[in-house]
Amino acid sequence: MQPPHLLFLFLPILLPGMWADPEEPQVIQYLLTGAFASISSAEVSCIVLLEDIPMLTLDPANWSIHFYWPWVSQVAAEGDGEKIMSQYKIALRNLIRFVHDTVQQTKQHYPLVVQIRLGCVAYPNMTSQGFLNVGWGGRDLVAFEIDKQCWEARQPSQVAELVSESLNRQKSVTVLLEYLLTIWVCQSNFQTVKTYGKEVLERQELPVATVFARTPSRDELLLVCHVTGFYPHPISVAWLRDGQEVPPGPALNTSTILPNADLTYQLRSVLAVAPRDGHSYVCRVRHRSLGTRSLLIPWENRSTAATISITIAVLLLVTTASAGGFWWWKHRKGNEATWETQDCII
Ligand SMILES: *[C@@H]1O[C@H](CO)[C@@H](O)[C@H](O)[C@H]1NC(C)=O
Ligand SMILES: *[C@@H]1O[C@H](CO)[C@@H](O)[C@H](O)[C@H]1NC(C)=O
Ligand SMILES: *[C@@H]1O[C@H](CO)[C@@H](O)[C@H](O)[C@H]1NC(C)=O
């Protein structure tokens, strides 16, 4: 007594894969945006990110600092952090005055957006490189050359010349910046943050993958593999046709990786195929959280059902995989409505 629109739920099949975790550089960055609406107005916002993890933000209304994690306030209270915390409001006021003065001198116009990006990249070979860039109206303006202890223009304009010259005249500031970037941001601050934030940095969330089909026209079938809820960001999603990886080409369209609200990520990979072409299709996902295994989600080509959903409940899948099993569930009539609804939502 098989209903014609039988939908199948496959339990996860995790097979040994080759997901090698590439050692990637780590980045800490302080991002500051100043929105200058007029000579008498400036709104400053700031966020500090370790990789893609927010650590603290500045409230634009009262310049108070919001710490995302309890350990960040500990970091801020240590060593030079304490001194910097006691001085940042003065530095912001000086920055705002400097921007207004520059606008007057160069006869620029409001509204204007100034962006500052400061931080450090730590490479797997244990070297690190500080950086400090300033953008003006959406374009690179000047950058601080740490080795030379000086500011250099990043565009051939009067503003860039004036800003770099006037910043270079303040020798005590360039010496301080060199110290801040190489010793503080790249060494003590970065090390402390990595130590305190170890748990957050090493967080891993398993991908949840769904495979379904769309039929935009009679002779076209789009197989969609939607992968979500994973962390960290690097992932590999591929389609296998009869066990062979489908190479990049016009039939294959993989989206960029998009953020979810809970600091996980999602993406989808769409493969265009001919209906009833006789091939088997499997979506393969590799991710750090899966270790050396792959998540394989087959698409079941049933001519009776226009679209067939196969959803993997990852936790169940992992259990199954560790038992070394390959399972599948039949969904009875009562579940069909749910599955069809899900197809529309996805
Ligand atoms: C700053 O403003 C925010 C709301 O914008 C408020 O929640 C916070 O308590 C204020 N902090 C201080 C120190 O006044
Ligand atoms: C370390 O790696 C970075 C980035 O790959 C490279 O630019 C740098 O030259 C390397 N440094 C050393 C000492 O190998
Ligand atoms: C890939 O998908 C995007 C979004 O649906 C679409 O805009 C784009 O044209 C597609 N590219 C190809 C090569 O099909």
- Ligand 3, from 253, 267, 268, 271: best to mutate by most atoms within 8 Å of Cβ? 253
- Hey, whose CA ends up nearest to atom 5 of ligand 2? 123
Q: What is the pLDDT of residue 122?
A: 92
DSSP track, 124-171:
TTS-EEEEEEEEETTEEEEEEETTTTEEEESSSSHHHHHHHHHHHH-H
> Considering only CA atoms, which of 226, 234, 305, 312 is closest in space to residue 271?
226
Q: Is 59 in the pocket of ligand 1 (CB under 6 A)?
A: yes
CA of 187 to the centre of ligand 2 (A): 16
Secondary structure tally for the chain: helices H, strands E = 8, 21
Q: Is 127 in the pocket of ligand 2 (CB under 6 A)?
A: yes
Partners of residue 77 on adjacent β-strands = none
Arithmetic mean of pLDDT over the chain: 82
Q: Which two tokens stand for residue 225?
A: 């593999």
Q: Which two tokens stand for residue 22?
A: 């590439």
What mean pLDDT comes out for the span 331-335? 31
Q: Is 123 in the pocket of ligand 2 (CB under 6 A)?
A: yes
- The verdict on residue 61 lying in a domain is yes
Q: What is the pLDDT of residue 186?
A: 92
Confidence at 42, pLDDT banded by 50, 70, 90: very high
> Considering only CA atoms, which of 342, 280, 345 is closest in space to residue 309?
342
Cβ < 6 Å from ligand 3: which residues?
A: 250, 253
- The verdict on residue 27 lying in a domain is yes
Q: Which amino acid, one-letter code, is at 109?
A: H
d(CA 311, CA 98): 57
Count the domains in the chain.
2
Looking at residue 180, what DSSP letter applies? I
Q: What is the pLDDT of residue 302?
A: 55
- The verdict on residue 334 lying in a domain is no
What mean pLDDT comes out for the span 68-77? 89
Helix, strand, coil percentages in the chain from 3-state DSSP, rounded to 5: 30, 40, 30
- Hey, whose CA ends up nearest to atom 13 of ligand 3? 250
Q: What is the pLDDT of residue 74?
A: 87
d(CA 47, CA 33): 9
Pairing type for strands 328-331 and 252-254 reads: unpaired
Pair (235, 175) in one structural domain: no
Pair (129, 64) in one structural domain: yes
Of the residues 166, 201, 236, which one is the last residue of a structural domain?
Answer: 201
Q: Which domain range does residue 89 map to?
A: 6-201
Report yes or no on whether pTM surpasses 0.85. Answer: no
245: helix, coil or strand? Answer: strand
Residue 327 has pLDDT above 50, yes or no: no
119-143: b (≥16 Cβ within 10 Å) or e: bbbbeeeeebebbbebbbeeeebbb
Residue 16 has pLDDT above 70, yes or no: no
Least reliable range by pLDDT among 120-124, 186-190, 241-245: 186-190
CATH number of 15's domain? 3.30.500.10
What mean pLDDT comes out for the span 17-31? 71
Residues 6+ apart with CB under 8 A from 343: 212, 307, 309
> Considering only CA atoms, which of 183, 191, 135 is closest in space to residue 159?
135
d(CA 296, CA 308): 16
Pair (184, 215) in one structural domain: no
Q: What is the pLDDT of residue 80?
A: 80
What mean pLDDT comes out for the span 24-42? 94
- The verdict on residue 341 lying in a domain is no
CA of 253 to the centre of ligand 3 (A): 6
Q: Which two tokens stand for residue 310?
A: 């196969």
Q: Is 125 in the pocket of ligand 2 (CB under 6 A)?
A: yes
Q: Which ligand neighbours the alpha carbon of 129 most closely?
A: 2
Q: What is the pLDDT of residue 191?
A: 87
CA of 26 to the centre of ligand 2 (A): 13
Q: Is 66 in the pocket of ligand 1 (CB under 6 A)?
A: no
Pair (242, 177) in one structural domain: no
